[in-house]
Structure 1
Amino acid sequence: MDQRGPVVQGALLRRRLTELRRQSGLTQEEVARRLEWHTSKLIRIEGGRTGISKVDLDALGQLYGVTDPALMEELRLLNREARSKAWWSSFKNDVSDAYLAYVGFEAGASVIRQFQPLAVPGLLQTEDYAETLAHAAMDADALKQLVKLRMMRQQTLRQRPIPPYEIFVLDEAVIRRRVGISRDRAIMPTQLRHMARVAQESERISIRIVPFETGSHVGMLRGAFTLLEFDSGLGELLHRENGDLHETLTGEDPRISEVRADFEAILGEALDPAESLTLILEAAASME
């Protein structure tokens, strides 16, 4: 299977089909009328709310004037990949569909940029830190599955043939808050040393800290967010979450460019990677 995964492949297929429809000068209503479909069927297909069968895909290709066998085979391959089972599908009963959709996009990203003002990003968390952070919000079984999903996200991303670039910008509050101190004083310093080790071992992972001495910065108002980029021509994606609420924006939504500009502004306030690792390790030592 393509390392981009079924969610990204499905998004690429929908984008290509929408482009072909527009190039053919057809509206959704006209396509539905010619194929004797309900318009809602095409809306669901282009919006990603339903899959598409091989028969329907071939019908669309013929209607859109696709005569190049290579292009048609590319569309069929995207469709087969989009309909394949993903590793995260085993968690569909444990977390929301919206969150799993984000996990699918993340799995196929080429660049991951994230700002976190309060907590260590999930892709950098140890099991103990993840368990402690979510402990008060869910029962034991749900907690076990959430932590398992988080660890698998880390593992599968970094075992890809070409891992993504991961750039994390954290407020200093993230590395100073002693998460888990009432349970085990070693949880937070261990977490900090883990973060430093991950960054030191991979040239594709960068952790930057915005120090307290910077004062106020735009991230304090923006809150946590993640930006994903893809090497497949798919547009940039913005993901924000607050508890169980997840918002994922794709395409040309103007909020994406606004948040990207904010990320660059926050990055400009951060220490460089070497200084950031020094601060992280100093914070760990102070907790021991």
Structure 2
Amino acid sequence: MPAGGRPTVRSRRLGAALKRHREAVGLDQAAAAEAILRSVTKISRLETGQVSASALEVRTLLDRYEVEDPDERQRLEKWARASNERGWWLDYQEIVQPDYADHITLESDATYIRSWEPSLIPGLLQTPAYAESVILTGPTPCGHEQAAQLVKIRQERQKLIEDGGANFTAIIWEPALQALALDTAVCGEQLLKLRNAGKRQNITIQILPCGAYRTAGMTGPFVAFSFGVEPNVEAVTVPNAAKTSVVEAPEDLAIYTNTFDQLRSDAMSPDESAVRIQEFLATSQRLLENP
């Protein structure tokens, strides 16, 4: 059973991929069960993420399904080995809810991460002070001690892109930066972090201008994840006041992919965005010098 007694996002992804490959060659679950000397029930539960598969079982099934792509085989075997691994975030399981754990798991496995944020700076780019202010004013009651732990988690998550472990593209609506300028306690540091992050080879920051309000109004915030060498969206997380939902249905992923492409098309270029961030930073510095 996957860790925690429920399907994990890793086991669900693995199961869905194995089912897709089985169906592509026209095999039923009985044939798959025979290949690994297991029951049909095992295959059924494997394909829904209810149980995990060993790397050897995955390798055998991929042989039976005639999957020859080495990148795909390596990826699915890696998922099998990782499906029951204990993530660092479980050290904070008293405050990390299952839906947040799912988000962090997807994030830690991803090769490409794309974020749309209409009202805040994305978590992967937040300074500790800004993150604390966001957490303390969030919909879930939170004391300073718990907020400090959540800030620490956010900093741990940021290591992924700081170390170049994934490519990250963030599109931020311009009013989020304008609102930031009103908070002089965190503004300068946060803008500096944005400016410096945008210089990294694996990080792209684009600002959607205020005038593109129709595009900004298409959807609330979301994060899209890819897990292979190609940046195909394979999962999306959508936060709301109560929880974060994981979207995995292909038809829904296509909608989010198209939405992100539209946002990126209407946003300033990375170079133009860097100039705009620098302008906000200069304004912030003037306000500090002449309050």
* TM-score for both structures, normalised by structure 2: 0.77
Check whether the contact 2:238–2:245 (CA below 8 A) recurs between aligned residues.
yes
2:151 to 143, 147, 171: 147
Taking every aligned residue pair, what percent have the same amino acid on both sides? 22
| CA distance 1:20–1:265, change in 2 (3 Å) | closer
Which residue number in structure 2 is paired with residue 273 of structure 1? 270
Unmatched 5+ residue regions in structure 1? 1-6
Letter in 1 for 2:180: R
Q: 2:167 aligns with which of 160, 165, 168?
A: 165
User: Cα–Cα, structure 1 residues 210 and 78, in superposed 2: closer, same or farther, change >3 Å?
Assistant: closer
1:98-137 superposed matches below 5 A? 98-136=99-137, 137=140
2:127 partner letter: T
Is 1:256 matched with 2:285?
A: no
> How far has the Cα of 1:217 moved from its partner?
2.4
Q: Which has the higher contact order (CA 8 A, sep 6+)?
A: 1
Alignment correspondent of 1:4: none
Q: How many residues align?
A: 266
**Aligned: 1:89 with 2:86:** no
Q: Which residue of 2 aligns with 1:198?
A: 197
Which structure 2 residues correspond to residues 172-251 of structure 1 after superposition, within 5 A?
Answer: 172-178=174-180, 181=183, 185-200=184-199, 202-212=200-210, 214-231=211-228, 236-251=234-249
Q: 1:17 to 1:178 in 2, by over 3 A?
A: closer
The answer (yes or no) to whether the contact 1:227–1:239 under 8 Å persists in 2 is: yes
Give the CA deviation at 1:100: 0.9
Deviations 1:164-204 (A, max 9, x none): 221111111110113783xxx2311210111101112x121
Structure 1 counterpart of 2:46:
45
Deviations 1:214-233 (A, max 9, x none): 24222223111111112168
CA contact (8 A) 2:11 2:50 kept: no
Shift of 1:141: 3.1
Cα distance change on mapping 1:42 and 1:27 into 2, 3 Å = closer
CA distance in 1, matches of 2:77, 2:226: 24
**Post-superposition offset of 1:104:** 1.0
SS in 2 for 1:217: helix
TM-score (norm 1): 0.77
Displacement of 1:85: 2.1
Secondary structure of 1:178's aligned partner: helix
- Give how far 1:272 is off: 1.3
What is the aligned-residue RMSD (CA, Å)? 3.5
Q: Distance in 2 between matches of 1:30 and 1:263?
A: 37
CA contact (8 A) 1:115 1:170 kept: yes
